[in-house]
Structure formats: C-alpha cells, structure tokens
Amino acid sequence: MALNEVNVVILVGGPGQSSLRDIAGHSVSLLPVPGYRHCLHAWFEIVQRMDPVNKIHVLTGRPDDKRVIGAAAGEWDAGHLGQTGVHADHNDHRGTAGALRDFATSLNYSSDLLVIEGNRIPPGNPEALFDLEYDREDVIGVLGRDRSFQPSGLFLMKNRILDLIPEIGFFDLKEQLIPRALERGERILVRPTGEGGNRISDRTSYLRGVRELGARALGPAARGPWIADGSHVHEDADVKTGTLVSEGCRIGANSVVKDSVLLEGAVIGADCLIVDSVIKGGITLAPGTKVVRGAPYEGDSSMLETSVLS
C-alpha cells in the first residue's frame, strides 16, 4: 500500500476508577503481562515492528498519571532512539475523539493515525489493519475486530477524519465519530486482527488476558507459571499454571498459588492459598491466609483443592 507514515496514539487512563485500578494503584495499562514488563510495553514492542509507524505517543486522560506512565515509556525508549512521548489531556469532558483532535492539533499532525486503546490485551495480528483497500479515496479508516466481531481496540484513520470532530464539547470515538463519518458517506473497513484485543476492566478480564497472552507469546511456557527473576519462591511452595509473579515478590513455604497475579513486591506468607486473584503490590499476607476470587476465604480449602487446584 502507499501508506508512508503513521503516528501511533495509545489512549490510556480515562477518568473512571475501576476496582482493578484501585488494586494496582495506577493505570491498568501498566499491569504486568506474560512476556513483557507490562501491557503498555507489549503495545510498544508490537507497533514498533510495523513498517509504516513513525512515532509512538501515549495520551492519558488523567494528568496525575503522566509521571508514572512517562517513566514506563522512558524505560522502554532508552533502547529505541526516542521513539515515544507521553502527553496528558487537561480538558475535562472532551471524550476520546475530542482529546485525540486536541492532541493531534497541538502537534500539527498531518500524517495518518493508528489509535490504540491501551487498556486492552494486544491482538495477535494488528498488521491486518494495513489493508490495500485503505488507499481508496472513499475509505477513511480501518477498524479492528476480534473473533467475536467485537472491537479489538485498534483504529487506523486518515488525518481528515479529525475535521469531523468539533473544537469544543464531548465527542466519543466509537459512539460519535465513527457514525458521523459513515453519515458523511465515508467508508470504514472492518478487519479481523486475530486472537486477543480484550479490554482489561476487572479482575476476571485481566486474569483471562494474562492466560491468553501467555498462550500466544511464550510457546512451551504458554500455561505458566511466569515468575520474574527478582522474586523468591520457597522450594516447598506450589506455584501452579496461570500464575504471574512480579518482581520482588516472595512466596512462603507450603503456599499454593494458581490462576493469579502477584503485583510487584507482594509477600505471601507460609501455608497461604491464593486462587483466581490479583494481589496488591507491596502487601504482606499473614501465614495461613486464603484468598479466592479476590476475597478472603474462610471455608474448607480441601473442597477447593479438588475443584479448582487440580
């Protein structure tokens, strides 16, 4: 195709406060995933391999997140020749499309844009967006979809679509911008982008995404566990499949952890049971603690061992 240059904008950190963000203490885009330090780095690695991509920018709707996201981007950027930038949208109630227009205008962008929802697990084939039909004059964009025909969080758009976004007021990308473009007679292609693309919105969707990305990214280690080098697991502990252990974590003797994520610095005492849960970073769980599906468990754990731990 004749596409020469695309600038990537990764949208993260909307104004909402989810239970998962409460646990993490930061944008869900910075949650760890198998094969990458966190989800944002996974997006960086994937899009920087696409030939048309020029610059990668992260746009957050929460100015208080800019510092920590900037540090994460800088950590990756140190080996990639200054390819990324982090920006905060300071205008309240502009919506995703409104914030995108303000951002692109501030940088005088004339290139096409690949817009990514950074709070999603990257799909398996994002390159499918670069379709030959995109070069047609009547085509204004390409929208990615997953195998269930749901959006996968990717939208390749020609720069002129920004002219359809009002200068003031709230304007959403999916609910308002795309319908307006279609009403004006523009074509938007829909292309399958493979497995993945699921939104990370709560404990269940995050743990499902961890297992899915691990299955796609890590070959023989597809089912886990995935244990960071800087963590310590007692030789008598049992860390089972579907579990991701982050940097600086410690797991005590005779503890069992399955289908869970331990965020950075979590300490699990001896004889604990952790199942289908996300454990907050830096927390210390007393010996004998049981956490199942994100909540303390007071029942008979022998029932759990036969039903979900085998």
Query: Tens of pLDDT along 120-170?
Result: 999 989 999 999 999 999 999 999 998 888 889 999 999 999 999 999 999
- SS3 assignment, position 58: strand
What pLDDT score was predicted for residue 2?
A: 46
221: CB partners within 8 A, 6+ apart:
34, 214
Query: For residue 1, what pLDDT band results from cuts at 50, 70 and 90?
Result: very low
Which residues of the chain are in CATH 2.160.10.10 domains? 224-307
- SS3 assignment, position 45: helix
Query: Tens of pLDDT along 167-191?
Result: 999 999 999 999 999 999 999 999 9
As a whole number of angstroms, the distance between CA 302 and CA 173 comes to 49
Query: For residue 25, what pLDDT band results from cuts at 50, 70 and 90?
Result: confident
* Single pTM value for the model: 0.89
As a whole number of angstroms, the distance between CA 191 and CA 101 comes to 24
- CATH for 6-192? 3.90.550.10
Q: Which of 61-70, 243-252, 299-308 has the lowest mean pLDDT?
A: 299-308
Q: Among 3.30.1280.10, 2.60.40.1120, 3.40.190.170, 2.160.10.10, name the CATH number for the domain at 224-307.
A: 2.160.10.10
Query: For residue 226, what pLDDT band results from cuts at 50, 70 and 90?
Result: very high
Q: Strands across the sheet with 290-292, in order?
A: 238-239, 256-258, 273-275, 290-292, 295-296
1: CB partners within 8 A, 6+ apart:
130, 131, 132, 134, 135
Would strands 250-251 and 226-227 be described as parallel, antiparallel, or unpaired? unpaired
Query: Tens of pLDDT along 241-256?
Result: 999 999 999 999 999 9
Exposed, middle or buried by CB within 10 Å (0-12, 13-18, 19+), for 165? Answer: buried
Which residues of the chain are in CATH 3.90.550.10 domains? 6-192
What pLDDT score was predicted for residue 40?
A: 93
Judged against a pLDDT cut of 80, whether residue 11 lies above it is answered with: yes
